[in-house]
Amino acid sequence: MLRRIHEAIVDNDVTYEEYQAAKQWFIDVGEAGEWPLFFDVYVEHVVEEHNFSNRPGSQGTILGPFHLPDAPVLEAPFELPHRPDEPGDKTVFRGRVTDPDGNPLADANLDVWQADSEGRYSSFMPGPPEGNLRGQVRTDADGRYEVRTVVPGPYTIPLDGPTGRFTAAAGWSPWRPAHIHLIVSADGYEPLVTQLFIASSDYLDSDVASAVKPELIVQPQPSDDAPGWLEFEYDFALAPARAPAVA
């Protein structure tokens, strides 16, 4: 890291003024508590691509800064906790968790979290109550799962902080397209950290976090048997664990 910084200073003829401005910007990122945001938006996708490009099974993408462990494990009807008047289009998604050959994984866990229809994550932004739109579900004996929720809205990084100022200075869009986060895990398999992107969302081609993959785009459609609901399907295939668990 230091070698790259030293090279950049020489290559770009960095002045003392620029050095002091850069130093202050780094200090500002820390004081604003934006290092998790900055790293996950601008760095994590390369780590993900570099480490997992040859992994069998479903595509993953970045974790991001808004996961919280210990979300409640849901019982049927597997509805993510939400406000009584939760805004947004109701949607149900379902599918199977399998190994790379399509064999079902029973009792796999899907840890699901997402922004509300206005792009706000509970516990990180004012608006939604603690625990909103966060929960875990388990697959049944056939590896099937189901989740009821609302379609999230696109998310923008805070515009008034150092990460937002950096983004504006570069002339980049600060938006992420609407997405649902998941960590899919099962004993003996690599956990799959991924996101599902809503096909009708803006910003699919300009994600500030560079985390969209075509395989991860889903298209919620009006449900035939549940009027007023959208629905979509998604199957997850997990790669076998790289090393046996240490006793």
- Residues paired with 146 in a beta bridge: 94
> Contact at 8 Å (CB) between 146 and 93?
yes
Select from 63-71, 85-93, 200-208, 231-239 the region that touches Fe ion (CB under 5 A).
63-71
Question: Whose Cβ is closer to ligand MBD: residue 39's or residue 229's?
Answer: 39
Written as six digits, the tokens of 1 are 């890291």
Question: Whose Cβ is closer to Fe ion: residue 87's or residue 222's?
Answer: 87
> Contact at 8 Å (CB) between 124 and 79?
no
> Contact at 8 Å (CB) between 157 and 164?
yes
Q: Does 64 bind Fe ion (CB under 5 A)?
A: yes
Helical axes 16-31 vs 162-170, angle rounded to 10°: 130
* Nearest partner of 87 among 146, 127, 131, 136, judged by Cα: 127
Edge to edge, what strands does the sheet with 192-198 contain?
Answer: 134-138, 109-114, 179-185, 192-198, 217-218
From candidates 38, 78, 113, 155, binder to ligand MBD by CB under 6 A: 155
Q: Which does 41 bind (CB under 5 to 8 A by kind): Fe ion, ligand MBD, none?
A: ligand MBD
Question: Whose Cβ is closer to ligand MBD: residue 17's or residue 205's?
Answer: 205
H/E stretch holding 179: strand 179-185
Q: How far is the CB of 75 from ligand MBD (least distance, A)?
A: 27
Question: Whose Cβ is closer to ligand MBD: residue 77's or residue 214's?
Answer: 214
Q: What share of the chain is helix, strand, coil (3-state, %, to 5)?
A: 20, 25, 55
Cα separation, 129 vs 127, whole angstroms:
6
Question: Whose Cβ is closer to ligand MBD: residue 109's or residue 195's?
Answer: 195
How many chain residues are in contact with ligand MBD, going by CB under 6 A? 11
Cα separation, 150 vs 145, whole angstroms:
17
Q: Which residues fall within 8 angstroms of residue 66, CB to CB, at 6 or more apart?
A: 113, 121, 123, 124, 181
Q: Which of residues 107-136 bind ligand MBD (CB under 6 A)?
A: none
Written as six digits, the tokens of 27 are 């200090």
Q: Does 184 bind ligand MBD (CB under 6 A)?
A: no
Written as six digits, the tokens of 17 are 């003024």
Binding-site string for ligand MBD from residue 47 to residue 86, where x marks contact by CB under 6 A and - marks none: ---------------x-xxx--------------------
Q: How far is the CB of 64 from Fe ion (least distance, A)?
A: 5
Q: How far is the CB of 147 from ligand MBD (least distance, A)?
A: 17
From candidates 151, 209, 230, 237, binder to ligand MBD by CB under 6 A: 209
Q: Which does 62 bind (CB under 5 to 8 A by kind): Fe ion, ligand MBD, none?
A: ligand MBD
Q: What residues line the site for Fe ion (CB under 5 A)?
A: 64
Q: What residues line the site for ligand MBD (CB under 6 A)?
A: 37, 40-41, 62, 64-66, 155, 176, 209, 211
